[in-house]
Structure 1
Amino acid sequence: MTTIEDNIDREAHLENHPVVSTHYTLITPMIAKVYSILRERVFSRHTGTFLYAKPRMGKTRCAETVRDLLTIEFPKKYILYHTADGNKSARLIRDLVSTVGLYKAPKESYGALMERFIIHVRAEVEFRGGGHFVFIVDENQLLSTEGWNELLVIHNRLEQRGISMTTLGFGQEEILENRHFLFGLGATNLVARFLCEPIRFEGCVSEVDFDSMLNEYDANKEFPLDSGCTYTNFFLPKAFAAGFRISKYSRLIWTELINVAGEDGPGELPLEHMFRVIEDILMRSRHMDCSEFKITDEIVRKAVDASLIVGYVSFMRQAPK
């Protein structure tokens, strides 16, 4: 029987494949765990919490996934995603007005910008009929003290108008230093509102987690959409038809990654680079596709080398603790 995936022109679709472009979302066990926590905070309308991680651990992917899942689960809430840029000369409110696509005059006052943003949020909330604004800010370690104060003003202004606001922050480990700094300034109101509940994000900390990730490529991630062709099937159709699954090589790939991590353990392995290893194996194996295909030690080693994960781990070991 001929299936949809049998008729796919793989060469025509190759350049646009998510594994090649790296534009895809994979819900890892850690992302699922984080979402289960954050969705409860949103449901309960907590004022704020934040997640922190080392660089390249998949924090931004997690933030974007949380945004998408909240949008689906809570259609009556207005959810806004913003990435802080660390420009100390700019005001947060000016950035937010740009983020939502509102026109701003070159010398428009802080008060005018704030009022227009508040009106925008009120309109979006009223349109959805939920009375709740969820603000997701990525790279929140880049917010200045003035930025945190502006965020507090937004919270207070919306509360006065009967609108709840929850801020979900995603940042690098420096955010913990920023929190300590705000304490030192006596800004306990800012810490209590936005930074009282730190959640540590670790990309992939066990072989079980890694096996779960690989299974997504074998069974759940499809391209083209609704074709029934999983990512593994796309790159290795003959091997896949003969029973090949990349998840069967979880131990082989994981062992090589743990050799890279050494005594520091898997928590030091950057998730973004781990994805690169998987992607490289699929793409590197494409020209070797046959019913007898197997992943070898050499294929894994070459993928690990190409991912640059060794250099990253070595560099991070030299970073100040």
Structure 2
Amino acid sequence: MNTDERPFVPKGSHPIETGRYLLPTNEIVRMHDTVTQWIDNRTPGGMIYGRPRIGKSRAINYLMLDLPSEFGENLPIYKMSCRKYKQPSENSFFEDLLNDVGHALPYSGKANLKRDRLFNFFLERAERAAQKRIILFIDDAQRLHEIHYDWLMDIYNELDNDGVSMTVILVGQEQLIHQRSSFIQSKNAQIIGRFMVHEYKFIGIKNISDMATCLSGYDNISEYPEGSGWSFTRYFFPEAFKQGQRIESCAEDLFSVITNLKAEAGLTKSTEIPMQYFTLTVEYAMRRFGVNGEDVEWLNRAHWKQALINSGYIKAEAYQDVV
């Protein structure tokens, strides 16, 4: 369905208002190509690292939706989010893993039973899908301790003995690189060889081209309600959209506003805009200045400046410059 009548969306439920949506970026495309190669080569593991709030977790979610189109709809692909504990616990580790992969019984039994349950779950899923492989993303992987890798290696080896290849993709902050250096010094070749040989640095928006690609998603790829033909830009700026305005064309203005505000704040580090602050900026601009808000004719630099300041980006960058 594609209609000229603006669809009714209950207040507060549009993805721009909830923040629950995924759009590809240049960096996600580059990361996708790298991870696809790792999986295609049946690589045991690799690291994806970058500064906080840069968009790594959203990128994982996007890949989890997209990778099955590359490797088959039944690709067994899972994500574990690392919790922070005072001391590593085998019981908690396998409990968290079972819970995050969606096992029906994550909490019952001792640690060894949970480990066996996880192994059997992975084995059954790999054989059911005829893929003979398991893909596991581990988010906030900088929280893992050496013993966690030993437990992961046990699962990897057991699956390998049954003809199932497992690819573990560690996603986290730059501490991952320091952890690998520590493992090199302590001659932990097994951990490095299994999970840390390959690496990819995930970066934020660095130039106008990157920004334009991100903004174009709001014009072209986004749609809500599904099947309505109404992109996010069209929904919040229907008249401007009808007249040919696209938010992608604001890339130069927004990037200029960022550059100027950084200069005014005395921030000297090269520009690398985390996706968290970029999306907060765009969402604020659409909510505040779109048809549901002030209903301005179209966005200008003053609007983008207000939206960017509201996102907290400049304050966050000031902190980054200090540390």
Match of residue 307 from structure 1: 311
Q: CA deviation at 1:170?
A: 0.6
Instruction: Report SS of the residue matched to 1:13.
Output: coil
Contact 1:83–1:139 (Cα < 8 Å) also in 2? yes
Q: Could you report, residue by residue, the CA deviation over 1:160-199 in whole angstroms, capped at 9, with x for unpaired residues? A: 1111111111101111111122223221110111011221
Q: Could you report, residue by residue, the CA deviation over 1:32-74 in whole angstroms, capped at 9, with x for unpaired residues? A: 1000110111111111111001001001111111122123332
Q: Name the TM-score, length of structure 2 as normaliser.
A: 0.91
Match of residue 275 from structure 1: 279
Q: Could you report, residue by residue, the CA deviation over 1:206-239 in whole angstroms, capped at 9, with x for unpaired residues? A: 1001011111111221111110001011001112
After superposition, the CA RMSD in angstroms is: 1.8
Picking from 13, 28, 32, the partner of 1:35 is 32
Contact 2:88–2:145 (Cα < 8 Å) also in 1? no
Deviates more, 1:77-86 or 1:46-55: 77-86
Counterpart check, 1:90 vs 2:102: no
Contact 1:86–1:144 (Cα < 8 Å) also in 2? no
Counterpart check, 1:264 vs 2:269: yes
Counterpart CA distance in 2 for 1:165 and 1:218 is 38
Partner amino acid, structure 1, of 2:247: I
- Relative distance call for 1:105 and 1:213 in structure 2 (3 A) is closer
Counterpart check, 1:25 vs 2:22: yes
Partner amino acid, structure 2, of 1:207: I
Counterpart CA distance in 2 for 1:136 and 1:203 is 20
Partner amino acid, structure 2, of 1:185: S
Contact 1:5–1:227 (Cα < 8 Å) also in 2? no
Partner amino acid, structure 2, of 1:226: G
Instruction: Report SS of the residue matched to 2:5.
Output: helix
Q: CA deviation at 1:3?
A: 5.2
Counterpart CA distance in 2 for 1:213 and 1:27 is 7
Partner amino acid, structure 1, of 2:13: N
Instruction: Report SS of the residue matched to 1:263.
Output: coil
Match of residue 58 from structure 2: 61
Contact 2:78–2:136 (Cα < 8 Å) also in 1? yes
Counterpart CA distance in 2 for 1:197 and 1:259 is 37
Q: CA deviation at 1:281?
A: 1.1
Q: How many residues align?
A: 312
Deviates more, 1:119-128 or 1:91-100: 91-100
Unaligned ranges ≥5, structure 2: none
Q: CA deviation at 1:270?
A: 1.8
Q: CA deviation at 1:5?
A: 4.2
Contact 2:136–2:168 (Cα < 8 Å) also in 1? yes
Contact 1:83–1:137 (Cα < 8 Å) also in 2? yes
Q: CA deviation at 1:4?
A: 1.4
Counterpart CA distance in 1 for 2:277 and 2:67 is 27
Match of residue 103 from structure 2: 101
Moved over 6 A (4+): none
Q: How does 1:152-167 map to 2 (within 5 A)?
A: 152-167=153-168
Deviates more, 1:240-249 or 1:154-163: 240-249
Deviates more, 1:255-264 or 1:194-203: 255-264
Match of residue 13 from structure 1: 10
Partner amino acid, structure 1, of 2:314: V
Counterpart check, 1:45 vs 2:46: no
Contact 1:237–1:289 (Cα < 8 Å) also in 2? no
Contact 1:260–1:313 (Cα < 8 Å) also in 2? no
- Relative distance call for 1:39 and 1:317 in structure 2 (3 A) is same
- Relative distance call for 1:3 and 1:131 in structure 2 (3 A) is closer
Match of residue 185 from structure 1: 186
Counterpart check, 1:79 vs 2:80: no
Contact 2:2–2:227 (Cα < 8 Å) also in 1? no
Match of residue 289 from structure 1: 295
- Relative distance call for 1:110 and 1:280 in structure 2 (3 A) is same
Q: CA deviation at 1:288?
A: 4.0
Identity within the alignment, %: 21
Q: Name the TM-score, length of structure 1 as normaliser.
A: 0.92
Match of residue 133 from structure 1: 134
Q: CA deviation at 1:76?
A: 4.0
